[in-house]
Structures are given as C-alpha cells and as structure tokens.
Structure 1
C-alpha cells in the first residue's frame, strides 16, 4: 500500500487494519507493506515489479490512467482496479441506516 501524502494518518490507520487482518487470517506478515514517498516513482516501481500481479488504487484520473497504461505495457500485463476522482468517503452510521437506509441508498444512485 502506498500511503497518500495528503492523508498520512488515514493511510497509517488503514495499514494497521490490514496488518491485523493479515495476522487474524494466519497469513505471512510479508504479504502486506505500507510505503510512503512523494511523486509517482513509488507507484510506477510497484506496477513495474515482476512479483506484482495486480494493483488497486484510488486517485486522480490522470495518475490512475498512467499506471493502468503502464501495467498493460508490462511483458506480463496485470489488472488494475481503480476508483478515480473521488474525494470524500461516505460513512453511514447504524442509526441512520436503520432509520432511513433505503432513502440514503437511493441518494447514491439518483441522477439529476
């Protein structure tokens, strides 16, 4: 996992959750790493590495499209799963879900 420079705390929390899930699953601790650094070099190096077999990322459309093209140009192309141009996550708390879950759900799919 490459930590986002603008969200180091959130990246650290997510890394801890994943590390705990790895331990709880009995997987080797080496299956997950969190790396930090500015620029595109880290993401490009990860996509280029021959042991990487797939990439998931969230970020700008330009950055994600660049990494997607890079992943397809490898000698052994890999899948890239992206979530582009989103800014804010959405959390629905249990009380809100119970009180108006259908209304909230419809709000996510309504088109104006």
Structure 2
C-alpha cells in the first residue's frame, strides 16, 4: 500500500486530508547516483518491454491480470529509473501525482 499520512487525526474520518510521503526505501533510492543505474535493455525497447513485464509477473502469478503485469514495467527515466511502477506506487505516490500532473499539463499545452 502507498504511504499516506493523515495530517490531522482529530478531524472526522470522512473529512481527513492525507499528505503523500515517500517511504524510507524511496528516500534511499533518491540518493543513488543516476549514473550508476542501468535499465535492462528489454525495457528500453517498446517492442519487448511488455513481454518482459509479463515474464517477470509470471514468476509471482500463473495467471497475471493486465494491471499486475503493467505494474512490472520499469521506469526508464527520472529519479526512480530502473524501479517498477508497482514499486513506485508502493513507495512514492507523490512522484506518481507529479508525473500525472506533468503529463496532463503537456497534453493541454503541447508546446
């Protein structure tokens, strides 16, 4: 599960606000020099990335769902390069929010 911190626990449960906080694993991953990270070649190629994600997912489940194998895709950019989307969702939801917001702004303003 993602790391969600309740800002004020005295507020009624359905009115509480969460603060998105990276886990200790995410903080440690941020400190690793990007130059030392290498993404497996299979994930760098659009043709083979999905096949590799499915292969990895089958190690854990005989009949993986689409969501499960998409979670095994590896990030090829940014501060969490070489981490899976599943790992990212479990460890730094705030970065996922940043990526979605950035994508939405680029879609609205392609320039």
> If the length of structure 2 is used for normalisation, what is the TM-score?
0.27
> If the length of structure 1 is used for normalisation, what is the TM-score?
0.27
Higher relative contact order (CA 8 A, sep 6+): 2
